[in-house]
Amino acid sequence: MKPRVSVIVPVYDEGEAILRCLERMLREMLLPAEVLVVHDMPEDTTVPYVEEVARTDPRVRAVLNTYGRGPANAIRFGIDAALAPVVVVTMADGCDDPRQIDELARLVDRGVVVAAASRYMPGGQQVGGPRLKRMMSRWAGRSLYTFARVGTRDATNSFKAYDTAFVREVGIDSRTGFEIGLELTAKATRLRLPVAEIPTIWLDRPLGESHFDLGRFLPGYLRWYFFAYGRRLTRAKLAGRAAPTGAVPAQRDPQGSTEFEKTA
């Protein structure tokens, strides 16, 4: 059965901790789904545990990212590898609520191109995390919602669902960090396409160490923050500005892996 939602999980040496994340995700998802755990290196400590889960649950697949290291490239590769018309990006650290994957995907089914899990709308909450990062994220979300009318109070949150065709049409320019969520929200805003949100409770990661580097990723966030305030763009103009995502599916082997041919 073709999946209705492809869940993209970028990882970096999560090791055994990925088991808890996958167990909760697989238990809570009801829609037909595939879970692509995207890693940068064959020797990543996450891979053996993902393969262990995949032996008993065909929804799960370890996918080797060949676009370059880093979360942005892993997410780009995962979206290009996705089979479903809806993709959901979620983290491997247990911060996101997997019960909301289906709800976000159904919003895209109903016609929005970006569905955000929002910490900052009524009913949402953020528990823990670095104070400076929380303050900057909340300020960015509120100002973008109020003045740029982006459709969500939490444009910087990575936990979002997207219309796969929309993402492939507008492309992904980001190459560094987790700013893809903001980039695609800003692009939808400039195109005047619908963005929706649901409240979520975000919990600081219970296990492992965060790989979020604010100093390194901040320039990318600022770029797309200011981009959101521009005038309305047509799809043709935006497509001319966007970098290609990097590859198109070539073929799927009997074991379920996907080969890609470079287009850029």
More confident of the two residues 93 and 152: 152
Output the pLDDT for position 261. 37
- Segment 211-239 mean pLDDT: 83
CB of 104 closer than 8 Å to CB of 117: yes
Residue ranges of alpha helices (H) inside 191-230 are: 214-227
pTM score, two decimals? 0.87
- Vertex 22: Cα angle to 97 and 208 (nearest 5): 80
Beta strands 60-64 and 33-39 are parallel
Largest Cα–Cα distance in the chain? 50
- Segment 131-145 mean pLDDT: 91
CA atoms of 196 and 151, how far apart (whole Å): 6
- As a whole number, the mean pLDDT across the chain is 88
Q: Of 65-74, 179-188, 241-250, give the lowest mean pLDDT range.
A: 241-250
User: Could you report the per-residue pLDDT of 162-206, keeping only the tens digit for each?
Assistant: 999 999 999 999 998 889 999 999 999 999 999 999 999 998 865
CB of 181 closer than 8 Å to CB of 157: yes
User: Could you report the per-residue pLDDT of 92-121, keeping only the tens digit for each?
Assistant: 988 999 999 999 999 999 999 999 999 999
Tokens of 157: 């949150």
Of residues 137, 94, 146, 91, the one with CA closest to residue 118: 137
